[in-house]
Structure 1
Amino acid sequence: MGKLKSSCIIDDDDIFIYGTKKIMKKIDFCDEILVFNNGQEAIDGLKLLAEQNKKLPNVIFLDINMPIMDGWEFLEDFIKIPNNNRKHVTIYVISSSIDPMDIQKVQMYGLVNNYILKPIRIEDLEKVLSDIH
């Protein structure tokens, strides 16, 4: 499995971010990790990259429950980024929610590849790498 060029974590939980970055580095997951603490920061940052004709991250790990803009609102805005910018982006919803409604809602978004329960494990990231390659 080859590593990715870049990935993005969108989550308001600093402990989750710290742990996920540590696991990513341990398995040499990617070269660059972008971090945003809510959906609004993320959509602003990703739109800016797209406007500058820079590549968006290969994979986005998206939390559902965040302040300011939650994961669902992020997905609604992310769809508005031109497809040629976002077509190589794979999104994984990462959440501690076991609510069947959340899992069902994720399946309605063609952009979302899968739903991963927190905490993220090495096996989860290895599966992401194998799914993408």
Structure 2
Amino acid sequence: MIVPAPLVNACIIDNNKIYAYGFKKLLSIKDLSNQVTHFENGSDAIAHLKNPGNALNLPDIIFLDLSMPVMDGWEFMKEFEEIKSQLGKKISVYILSSSIDSHDIDRAKNIPSVSGYIFKPVDVQRLQEIFKNLQGIARQ
């Protein structure tokens, strides 16, 4: 009997509702995640992560846009670095941006919690590799 790999609980933080909808749809179609939470800014996402009522439903992975109103991706990462040890689980964070500015890429590389930098539009094969690695970690 083949046991299916556990699906990864994902989160996308992006103020572009159309992009977020398409991203969620892609994850569903490719059977990468059946649970994708969407936040339109970093502030709402931080509030969700800090809420003790969500402790059992935290994402395994976050896809984070850099340019958003209220709290942008950089501000989110600053807050995330401060609270990550209190969350009770390791959460991988990938920057998901249309910015090809080398300063943004270098800045992201210098944040310990950032697992990678993905350019929009997202490469499906790269996404599949990321989720495959996460599922492998979850089984250990």
Same fold (TM over 0.5): yes
Larger C-alpha radius of gyration, 1 or 2?
A: 2
1:50-89 deviation digits (Å, cap 9, x = unpaired): x233242000000001011000100111122251525421
Alpha-carbon RMSD across the aligned residues, in angstroms, is 1.7
Match of 1:64 in 2: 66
1:120 pairs, out of 119, 122, 136, with 122
1:91 counterpart letter in structure 2: V
Which runs of no fewer than 5 residues in structure 2 stay unpaired? none
Counterparts of 1:130 and 1:3 in 2: how far apart (Å)? 10
Counterparts of 1:3 and 1:63 in 2: how far apart (Å)? 26
SS of residue in 2 equivalent to 1:126? helix
Which runs of no fewer than 5 residues in structure 1 stay unpaired? none
Structure 1 runs, 4 residues or longer, greater than 4 Å off? none
Q: CA deviation at 1:45?
A: 1.1
Counterparts of 1:43 and 1:67 in 2: how far apart (Å)? 14
The number of residue pairs the alignment matches comes to 131
Match of 2:18 in 1: 15
SS of residue in 2 equivalent to 1:79? helix
Select the structure with the greater relative contact order (CA < 8 A; seq sep ≥ 6): 1
Q: Does the Cα contact within 8 Å between 2:7 and 2:32 map onto a contact in 1?
A: yes
Q: Does the Cα contact within 8 Å between 2:49 and 2:87 map onto a contact in 1?
A: no
Match of 2:43 in 1: 40
Counterparts of 1:60 and 1:105 in 2: how far apart (Å)? 18
Q: Does the Cα contact within 8 Å between 2:27 and 2:34 map onto a contact in 1?
A: no
